[in-house]
């Protein structure tokens, strides 16, 4: 026991075993499980009442709580000594080579001792992921960062993750076949995150997934994704596209083939994404047809540079593909001048919006629009005029400006009045500023 703990117990009037020791074992295990692993292990010396608790409490091991000079050795000792189960193991700063040297069977122990949540962050080199990790049938959550997958999974890993519900993979060197095999081995998986991974093409097939987050790799050290296709995901409700870190030269094809439950989609960017619905590639002049719409989407997010007419045209085409959206998020983007996509058109776009073919969702469905990074320039107002004239069911327009542009809602409403858009005056109270 530490001197501080002994002093505290003494001044509180406890001699040896305090009142807390009278609690039921289940409550004491809850207390132990919430302590850093070193403190949890030390509870065994508090009193005889506590000696068996640490070993009978599901282990929570986070190597960030361990002293750095002895971190690897401490992890090895805990993994070897604790009988399990392991409720959560987070290894973010241990060199795989050190673990392999000190305890070669550490991956097998994680599987054998019933690990439920596991995060392995390999920040040193692209080491090969031990195949035993993918045989840990007790896993409910798995997070892997910067590993190489162990060859052909179907031949070498014998993976089976029957209880896995959430899978995060960041910077993983793997093939499309590896991903297909892993998803097939995870029959109850609900949430999948893919970021900076190596498959150039992903064809998603899962009978259980409900949410997918995709980070597009644009950094030179990672393989750039060329295509992400939702081929067969009957329960998928949310497809979140995380924005690229830098501007791309080639666009990524986003294909939606079979996702009947899809309700939330975004951010779609005309600069980055080429949208395909079924066999139909959506272009600036694509007209609405039954084969080129996703009727189930209710919340859509788009990111567009209003200074570039080609992006504005794609914005209108994207909107036609989602006739039943009720909430629309629009983010006004400005590309860096060094970006290939930076080719501004200086003419106004009012004529385009006057001539654009009717967008069904404006007239019948959309009720709420959130305009992020609103700058108040002429081209943004031309889009707002189109909304005001065509959105019959719109209940609220929320403007979220850049901090330096506006200081009050009054200033925004004055700008709306100066914009020459009389439609806004009838429902200016619905234009909000945050």
Q: What is the pLDDT of residue 164?
A: 98
138, 161 in Cβ contact below 8 A? no
Residue 345 lies in a domain: yes
| Residue 281 reports pLDDT greater than 90 | yes
Residue 23 lies in a domain: no
For residues 335 and 115, the model is more confident at 115
Residue 353 lies in a domain: yes
Residue 225 lies in a domain: no
Give pLDDT tens digits for 228-252. 999 999 999 999 998 664 555 568 9
Residue 218 lies in a domain: no
Q: What is the pLDDT of residue 284?
A: 86
Give pLDDT tens digits for 351-365. 787 777 667 666 668
Give pLDDT tens digits for 255-269. 999 999 999 998 999
Give pLDDT tens digits for 10-36. 444 445 455 777 777 777 777 777 777
Confidence of residue 4 (pLDDT cuts 50, 70, 90): very low
pTM over 0.95: no
Residue 28 lies in a domain: no
Confidence of residue 223 (pLDDT cuts 50, 70, 90): low
Q: Print the domain residue range for 369.
A: 302-434
Query: For the chain, how many structural domains are there in total?
Result: 1
Give pLDDT tens digits for 141-180. 999 999 998 876 666 557 789 999 999 999 898 889 999 9
């Amino acid at each position: 026991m530490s001197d501080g703990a002994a002093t505290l117990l003494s001044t509180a009037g406890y001699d040896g075993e305090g009142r807390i020791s009278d609690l039921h074992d289940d409550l004491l295990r809850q207390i132990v499980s919430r302590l850093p692993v070193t403190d949890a292990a030390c509870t065994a010396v508090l009193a005889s009442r506590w000696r068996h608790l640490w070993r009978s409490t599901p282990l929570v091991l986070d190597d960030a709580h361990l002293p750095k000079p002895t971190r690897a050795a401490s992890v090895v000792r805990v993994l070897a000594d604790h009988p399990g189960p392991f409720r959560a193991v987070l290894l973010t700063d241990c060199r795989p080579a050190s673990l392999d040297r000190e305890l070669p069977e550490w991956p097998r122990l994680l599987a054998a001792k019933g690990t439920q949540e596991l995060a392995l962050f390999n920040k040193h080199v692209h080491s090969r992921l031990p195949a035993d990790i993918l045989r840990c049938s007790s896993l409910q959550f798995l997070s892997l960062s910067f590993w190489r997958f162990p060859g052909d999974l179907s031949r070498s890993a014998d993976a089976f993750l029957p209880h896995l519900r959430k899978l995060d993979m960041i910077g993983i060197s793997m093939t499309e076949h590896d991903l297909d095999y892993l998803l097939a081995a995870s029959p109850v998986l609900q949430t999948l995150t893919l970021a900076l991974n190596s498959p150039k093409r992903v064809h998603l097939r899962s009978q259980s997934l409900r949410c997918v987050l995709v980070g597009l790799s644009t950094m030179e050290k990672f393989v750039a994704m060329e295509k992400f296709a939702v081929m067969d995901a009957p329960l998928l409700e949310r497809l979140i596209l995380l924005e690229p870190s830098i501007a791309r030269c080639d666009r990524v094809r986003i294909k939606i083939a079979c996702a009947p439950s899809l309700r939330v989609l975004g951010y779609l960017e005309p600069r980055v994404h080429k949208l395909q619905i079924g066999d139909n590639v959506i272009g600036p002049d694509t007209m609405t047809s039954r084969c080129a719409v996703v009727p189930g989407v209710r919340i859509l997010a788009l990111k567009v540079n209003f200074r570039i007419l080609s992006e504005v045209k794609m914005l209108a085409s994207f909107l036609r593909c989602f006739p039943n959206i009720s909430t629309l998020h629009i983010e006004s983007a400005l590309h860096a001048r060094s970006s290939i996509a930076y080719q501004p058109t200086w003419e106004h776009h009012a004529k385009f919006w006057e001539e654009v073919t009717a967008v069904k969702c404006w007239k019948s469905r959309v009720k709420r629009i959130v305009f992020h990074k609103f700058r108040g320039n002429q081209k943004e107002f031309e889009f707002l005029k189109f909304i005001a004239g065509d959105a019959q069911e719109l209940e609220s327009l929320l403007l979220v400006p850049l901090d330096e542009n506006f200081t009050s809602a009054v200033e925004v409403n004055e700008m709306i009045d100066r914009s020459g858009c009389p439609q806004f005056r009838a429902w200016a109270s619905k234009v909000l500023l945050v």
